Every structure is written in C-alpha cells, then in structure tokens.
C-alpha cells in the first residue's frame, strides 16, 4: 500500500473537501478526518460531516492505497516537502517528507460514513447556476426555528420547463426563475444555506436533486448533501400581481443614502421612516438618540412607510439599471415594497417604526 503525491496536489484536494470535514462532534472516526483512496495515477479524497459530503479527485502515483487520516497532520506533512511518499503498515501510515519521517495514526475505513447517491435524482440544467443562487440566498433565514426557511427553495416544473429559486426569512423574499433543459420530472426541495454558499463557491456544472438529497459535480469533485425536510411556504402569493403604484429613484444615490442611514438606526429595530413624493425622504434615529434626515429626487406615487434599511439596500444591490422602481399594489400601510428586474423579484415588508 503505497502513495506518492506532490504536496501542492494534496493541499488542493484538502481545500476542496475542507467545507465538509467535521471539526467537532461525537463521531471520533470522522472528526477532522479524510478518506484517501488511490491506485495507479488516480487519487480521491473524501470529507463528510454526515450532512454534506465532498469527494475531490486528483493525480498521484499509487499502489492500492486507502487510509483515513487526520487533515491537520496531512497539512503538516505538506509543509515539510514538495513531494510526499506514504506507505501503509498495519494501523499506521508512514510518511517520507524530504529528510523528515512521520508516522500517522489511522482510523478504520469501514467506520467512515461514505454515502452513495440516491437513484431517483432529477437533473436540473440551469445556466449561471451560481449567479442565480447568489441573487436570492441573502434573503434566507439564519438559524430560524422554522427550519424550512433556513435555505433556498428549488422548484422545477416539467410543463413550463422552468426552475424557480426562492429564499425568504418571513420579512423579505427574493426569487429568480430560469429555463431548465430536459427536465425528466417535476421536483421541489429546500437546499440548506450552507450548501447553497458552497455551490456558489464551487460553481458546479452538474446539479441533481430529489426532495431529500442533492448531488452536484464539477471538474474533479462531487458534492452530496442532505436537504431540509419540510413544506415551503406558498411564495407566489407574496409576489404582487399588479403593481398600480410606483416611485422611480436613482439607484446610486439611493444606495449612498441608505448606507449613511444604516448608521443611524436602532439595534433592535433597524427601521427608518421613508416618505415618497417628489423626493425619497428618509429619517432615522439610533440608540444614542443621534438622528439622520436626507433625501434624493424621486418621481411617481406618494407613500409613507418604515423599513429595515439593510433589507432595502441588499435588494437594490441586485439591480443593474441606473434608475430603480419601487412598486406596491395597494395603498395600505402594510403593503409590501417590490423591486423587479427581468425574472428576478425582491419583496420586502414594511416594519413598525
């Protein structure tokens, strides 16, 4: 059982699987551990925390090498030499790193909980998947007791050939739709936020899902994750059907204004009072009784409401037009403010001042 590999290749594999490696927990067999298998010119490294699993593939010289090793010890070895040579004997692995020699403890391979993908997965082909996810994930909840809000809802429909990505925390909602090629069947699932962020980072070329599992893959890696079990809210009823009322504001000026106002809101109630008329007027007061008032030119209907400054600012950051149109469908004070750009919608609820 032998393995020879360049340190930079081993570090590259470790960087890919690191997000899935369990850093602490009751399963000692996988805490900070990775499973390495290599034979011939191929090597795989796997990491898992039992919820998410990542397998990275690379190049090496090996003869039927397989071991579960501590990731930190592997990185220590990488720092010692440019090329590492591993040999396995009984329950230890010996490492030759330049002039240095190391002996690393191993864990039983059959105790490493590697999972195989389900067979009933639906392939969802969407262009610019990472960008679609990035445009909505900021609206998802973080550690909400309503666990089904702690992620991005994916909904793919064979009749329309459309896939929707939706995220909400109960106070604002972002959704984007796109065409999906060759859907074999309709599917809906909730992808945990941590997994969504990982998909954004890895930019996979392959995505397959069921209602309970996700598999994503790209050049030299495969990610497998459990999904959130639950029923997602009826998000369509939150999208205004007909926005009769509008107010147009310069996006750059409004973002600058909101950036200043963010420093003048209360920590427990980050709302600012907003008045729409011939100007977008904003006023806020923080915990130290410091105040801020200002405005920028606007055109359209009149409206007064209070809103989380960061919510409005985060939505505006996804608008590419120089002028942004704030929309609402009724004159009620609780009416949501909507921003629309193509197939992307953002809806935010007013707050009590």
Q: How confident is the model over 280-291, as pLDDT tens digits? A: 999 999 999 999
The whole-number pLDDT of residue 240 equals: 81
Please say whether the beta carbons of 315 and 308 come within 8 A. no
pTM value is 0.89
Please say whether the beta carbons of 199 and 126 come within 8 A. no
Q: How confident is the model over 101-111, as pLDDT tens digits? A: 999 999 889 88
Query: Would you call 89 exposed, middle or buried from its count of C-beta atoms within 10 A (0-12, 13-18, 19+)?
Result: exposed
Judged by DSSP in three states, 125 sits in strand
Tokens of residue 123, six digits: 């392939």
Return d(Cα 335, Cα 246) in angstroms, integer: 12
Does 352 have pLDDT greater than 70?
Answer: no
> What element of type H or E holds 254?
helix 251-261
What average pLDDT score do residues 323-337 get? 83
Q: Share the mean pLDDT of the chain.
A: 92
Tokens of residue 74, six digits: 């592997």
Tokens of residue 276, six digits: 């729409």
């Amino acid at each position: 059982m032998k393995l020879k590999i360049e340190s930079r290749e081993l570090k590259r594999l470790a960087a890919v699987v690191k997000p899935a490696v369990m850093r602490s927990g009751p399963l000692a067999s996988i805490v900070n551990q990775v499973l390495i298998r290599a034979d011939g010119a191929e090597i795989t490294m796997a990491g898992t925390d039992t919820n998410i699993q990542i397998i990275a593939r690379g190049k090496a010289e090996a003869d039927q090498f397989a071991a579960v090793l501590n990731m930190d010890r592997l990185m220590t070895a990488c720092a010692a030499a440019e090329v590492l040579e591993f040999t396995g004997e009984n329950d230890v692995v010996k490492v030759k790193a330049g002039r240095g020699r190391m002996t690393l403890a191993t864990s039983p391979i059959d105790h490493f909980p590697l999972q195989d993908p389900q067979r009933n997965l639906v392939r969802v082909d969407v262009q610019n998947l990472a960008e679609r996810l990035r445009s909505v994930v900021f609206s998802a909840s973080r550690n909400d007791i309503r666990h089904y809000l702690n992620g991005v809802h994916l909904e793919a429909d064979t009749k329309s050939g459309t896939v929707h990505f939706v995220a909400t925390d109960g106070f604002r909602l972002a959704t984007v739709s796109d065409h999906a090629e060759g859907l074999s069947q309709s599917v809906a699932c909730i992808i945990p936020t941590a997994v969504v962020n990982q998909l954004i980072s890895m930019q996979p070329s392959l995505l397959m899902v069921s209602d309970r599992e996700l598999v994503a893959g790209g050049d030299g890696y495969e990610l497998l994750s459990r999904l959130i079990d639950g029923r997602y809210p009826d998000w369509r009823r939150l999208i205004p059907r007909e926005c009769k009322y509008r107010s147009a504001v310069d996006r750059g000026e409004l973002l600058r204004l909101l950036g200043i106002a963010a420093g003048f809101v209360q920590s427990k109630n980050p709302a600012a009072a907003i008045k729409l008329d011939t100007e977008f007027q904003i006023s806020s007061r923080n915990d130290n009784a410091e105040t801020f008032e200002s405005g920028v030119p606007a055109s359209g209907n009149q409206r007064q409401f209070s809103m989380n400054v960061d919510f409005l600012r985060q939505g505006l950051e996804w608008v590419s037009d120089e002028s942004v149109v704030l929309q609402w469908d009724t004159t009620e004070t609780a009416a949501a403010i909507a921003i629309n750009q193509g197939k992307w919608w953002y809806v935010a609820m007013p707050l009590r001042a």
